[in-house]
Structure 1
C-alpha cells in the first residue's frame, strides 16, 4: 500500500490563510456577535407588538397618502430595521460602529427594496442599473435648476426615513432603554405626512398617541420590576396588570382631552411662530417642489396660499369661505402673484427684489382704484391688485426684477396690514386689438431671458403644436389670440385636479392625454406655447371678480373664485391679460380694424363689468365649483351602491381578536404557578371582573363563603378550590394529585358561571357612564 504524503502549503496558501484569519479577527472586533442570553426585547413580549405597531404606523401612513405608487416595501423596511436594531443593540459593539453598520445595511436594504418594488419583470441587476440612471438624471436636473420629474429620489428618501426611524429607535431602546428616540423621530415624520397629505390621516396620529403612552407605561412597569428584583420585593401577581390598566385609562383620558380642550392660546402662539418662519418655509417649500416634482400625491397645505412657487397637479383644497370684499367701479381679476420660471413640473417667481415704486407705462392704460377688505390672513403681507399697480395707501413695496416697468407682486411692509383694509391704484390696459397688432416687437435682453425660458426637457411635440396653431398668423397679438382660442375650444375645464404620471411633463400630459383639467393647466400650457413662439408670457394667480352684492355694491370674493390666467408682454404697452380657461369669459377688447373707429378708454375694460352688457361671465363657473349638486350626486350614489359585508366582517374579526388577546393575557398571568395556586388566582381575578372583589383580610374559606352567598351557582366550585388551597398550604403533606385535579375541574365549572356575569357587568358600567 502507498503511504499518504502530506502536502506542504505554499507561501501563497499561507498568506491567504493569514489574511483570512486577520479579516475574521477584525470583523469580530468591529462587529461582535450578540450574546444569546442578552438577546431580548426590552419591555417583554407584551411591549414588542406595541412597539412594532408604533414603527409601522409611519410606513402605513405613507401608503395611505399615496405620494408614490411603489410604497408597499416601506413596511418591510421598517420590520427589517426593527430586527436589525434588536440584534445590533444587544451586542457589545460601540455606538459609533453600530450606527455605521446600521447605515451601511440600511443603504443596501433601501436600494434593493426600491429596485424590487419598481414595475416590470426585469432581473434585479437590470433594475439596479435603471435605479442608478434615474438618480443620475435626477441630480442633473436639480443641478441645472430644473424640476426633477422622476420620483425615484423621493422614494429613496422616504425609505431612508422609514429605515432610520425603525433602526435608530430600536437600537436606542435596546442599548439605553430609552424609547424617546423612536417616538420623536417617528412622531415627527408622521406629523409631517399627516399634515401634508390630502387624505384625512388623523386616525394614524390618534393610534400613534395612544400606543406611545401605552408603551411608556409598559416600559415604566419593566423598570419597576427590575427595581423590585434588586431589592427582593415580591409584588402581588396582579400588580403589573393594575399599573398597565391605570396607564391605559390615563392614556385614553389624555388623548380625549387633547382633542376637546380649547386651543385658542396654542393657536395664537403657533400663529406668531408661523409668521416668523413663514418666508424661510416658503423658500424651502419651493425648492422641495422642484426637487420632487414627480411626486404624484397631492398636498392640502397649499390651499389658496399664493407663494413664490406652485406645482402643477396639486389639488387646491378650496372652500366656500369669503376671502375678501372689493369696492370698485367695475369688476376685474384680482392679481396676487406672477410666475416666470418653468421647471418642467412647477412654476416659480424668481423676481423677488423689493422696491418702493415702479414706472408702469401709461400708454393704452387708464387709472383704476379698488378698495380691498380682507377676511383671511395673507402670508407674507401679500396684497391683491388689478393688473399693474402703481400705489397703495399703506406702506408697501413692489416685487420686481431688474426691469422696473412692472411688478410681480405687492407686499405690505407690516404684514398685519395685508389682512385689513387698503386701497390700491392700478393702471389697467385699454389698448384695442389693432393697436396691439401694430405694436413694436423688440424686446429687451432681460425680458427675453426671463420670459422666453423653457426647460430642456420640454417635449418636441408641444413646440410643434404651438407652431401649427399659429402658422397662419403674422403678428404676436394674433398668435396669442389663436393659442387662447385653441385652448378654449379644444379642451374642457374640470374642477378635479389630476397629477401627471412620474416622468411626464404636465403641459405635455394635459395637451395630448388629459385634455381636461384645472385652470393652472390651461394657463401653463398657453404660457409655454407663447414662449415657444417668441412671445414673452407669464402665469398669473389670484381671484376672479367674485359676485356683486346688490345691497352693498361690493364684489364678494370666495376661495372658490381662485384662478390662474396668462399675461403676455407687448413693448410700450406692458403686460396684457388673456383667458385660456373655457370656464371664464375671455377679456373683451375692441378691434378698431373692424369698427373703423378710435378706441374709447371707457369702452375697453377687459374685465367683468356687470354694467357692461357686452361682457357676460357665468358666475356659477368659479374655480373648484362642480356643475352637479353634491347632495343629489351623493344621494344617487348611496342608492345604487350595494351592501358590502366586508366592514361588518372586519369589525367582528377585530372583536374576536381582542377577545382572544384578552383571554391569552389572562392565562399568561398565571403561567409558572402550581395548578391549585393558578386556579385560586384565576377565580379571584375573574370574580373581580364580575364585580365581587376580595377583601385583603379575608381567609380562603371566608372569601369562598362570601362569593358562594353572592353567586349560589358558584358555591360548590369555589369551596372545592378553597379546600384544595388550604390543604396545599397548611397541611404537612400538601396537596395530592387528586386535589390538583379537583381544583382544575372546579375552576372550569366556576369559569363558566362567572363568565356569564361579565356581560351584565359591562352593560351596567356603560349605563353608569351615560347617566
Structure 2
C-alpha cells in the first residue's frame, strides 16, 4: 500500500529496512566488529564455566545470560544516558536474570523455604553463617550473576570506554579459574586466546586511527599494513604457544602445582605423536597400560592417563571393592608362544532387554544390590568398545545388552544355560557403550566363616575352572614348581577359602615380591612364571593374578581371572570417580558353593590402591535378593568413594598387545586433538597472511613494479611481450579503470627511477611507494573478485 504523501515514493513495506539501515549507519563499523568479538568472548567464557561442572545442574543457560548482558550493555553504551544510570540498570538486570534463571534449582533444593521477604531473610542468615557458600543452588546463582557481570562489563568497557583490558578482568579471572581446576579446557583456551588477541588488535588499531584523524595526521597505507602484519604474526605465534603448552590440570590445582606437570605433558605429547602412523603394523617394544581381553606375563609398560569413564554410586550402598568387570578370562592356552588366560572359545549369547534381570542357573545367598551411573567417555579400542563395565555381578542395565558366556555347561545341566556372564556387550546396532548408562549389580555380603564353611561340592560344570592343561601350556618343570609351591603355601589350611587367602597373602608380601611396571624379563628358554616365582619376584597385576590363578587351579579350586578397571581417582570438581587407562587391572575370583564367585587381590602396589578385599563380619541391613528386594535404596547426593589422586605408578592391567597404528589412529582423534589440529592450521593461516603482507610491501622500486605485474596477472590481465611500461599502464588502466590514476602516477615515477640518472632516480622512490600504497588495495580487491566471483 502506498503512502498518502504527494511524492508517493515511500512504500510502507520499506520502513523496517529503512530503520535498520539508519540504525546500522549510526553504529561505526569499528564498534560493530568490536561488539561481535565481545559477544563471542562472553559466550566462550560462559561455556567454559558451564563445562567446568562447578555445580551438577542449574547453570547450563549461562552462555545465554552472558550474551544477553553483553548485548544489553553494548546498546546502553551507544546511548547518551549517564554512565551511572547504565551501570545501575545493568546491575539490576543481572540480579533479576540470575534470580529467574536459578529459581527452579532453588525450589528443587529447598522446597520448604518461605517465599517473599521471608526467603530473602533466610538467605541473608545463611550467607552470614557461611552455609550458603556450600549450597548448590546459591553457588549456581553466584556463577550466573558472575557471567552476567563478565559479559556486561566487557561490552561496556569496550563500546563506551574503549578499554578492553579493563573489561577483560572479571572474565579472564573466571576463565583462568576454569583452566586451573578443570581438565580438557584446551578447546576453550584456543578460542579465548584467538578472540582476546583479535579484540585487542582491533581496538588498538581503531583507537590509533581515531587519534590520527583527530590530530589531522595522514596515515600512509604502509602504516596500516605494518600494524596488521606484525599483529597477525604475533597472534599466530601466541596461538601456537597456547596450543603447545601443557594442560594446566587434570585435578584441582588452584592451591598448588605439582612438580610432575611437565612429565605428564611429555607422556601425552609422546602418545599424540603416534597419531599420524600409517599402516597395519605395530610399534615394536611399545606396550601401554590399558584394558585388554587376555592376560599374559608381558614386557615392560609405559603409562597412559587417558580418561575412559567416570562413575558414581546412585543407589546402594556398595562397600567395594570398586573393581569394574570387563571380561572373565577362563581358558588357559598359548597365544603367540606365551601362556595366556583368554576369554574362551565357546560363546553362548543371550539378549537382555533394558532394565530386565536375566534368570541365572544358580541362585546365590546374601546377594545385595547397588546401582552405579557410569559415563563412558572413551571406550577401549581393539574391538572392546561394546563392553559394559560394572562392579560385582550383573543384575540389570537401562540399555539393551547381550550376555556372553564362554564356559557353557552341558545341555540339560540346568534349566537355563546362563550360569555366569563373562562379557556384557551393547546390543546391535549400537556396538558401542559410549555415553551414560545405569547398571544395577549384585555382590555377596558374606562373612569369612561362611566362606570357610562353603565346602567343595563343585558341580561338573566347574571342571574347566578347576584344573590346568596336562601339557602344552607350560613346561612340565614349571607346572610341578607351581603346584609344589601352592602345596607349600597352603600347608595347614583345611578349606578352599583359607588356601586362597594364604596364596593371596604370600603374593602380597612385599618382603618377597616387588610391584613394578618394568619387571626383569626371563632369559630365553625360561618359563616366565617360573622366573617370576623363583627368581625375579617382580611384576605387575597380570603377573600376580596369573600366579594365584594357576596355583589355585593346580589345587582343584575353581578360579578365573577378571580383566577390567580399578576404582580410579576421585575428582573433587565433578564429584565422581574418574577411571583412566592406567587404572586397568586384573584380579582373581574363586567359586564357593552357595555364594558364587568371590574376588581376591594378590597384587600389592604398596600405596593402598590394591588392598586385601574385606569380607563382611556381620550381616548388614542391605537390599538382599534373598529377601526379594529388587530396587536398592537411592542415595540422596550422588556420591563416590573418596579415593584421592595418587602419584603412584598405578596398576596397568595392560593388554599385552603392542600399540598398533590402527588403534591409536582412531583412539586419539578426540576433541582435544581436533582442537590442536584446527589451532595449528589457523596459526599457519595467519602466518601465511603475514608472509603475504610482507610480500606486498617491497623495499625497492623494482620490487614494486614486479608486484604490479604479478597482481595484474593474478587479476586476469595477461602481459604481452615487448610492451613498454607506458603501454602496459594504458592497457591496465582500461582493464582496471578504478586504478587508472594510481597506475599512471606509479608508472611515471617508475620510468624515471628505472631510466633516469641515479641521482634523479633516487628522488622518485617516495612517490613510487606512495602510489603503490594507494594502488595495492585496489589490485588485491581485483584478485579477490576473481577468486570469489560474487565479490565486487
TM-score (norm. length: structure 2): 0.38
Quick one: higher RCO (CA 8 Å, sep 6+), 1 or 2? 2
Q: Higher helix fraction: Structure 1 or Structure 2?
A: 1
Q: TM-score, normalised to structure 1's length?
A: 0.39
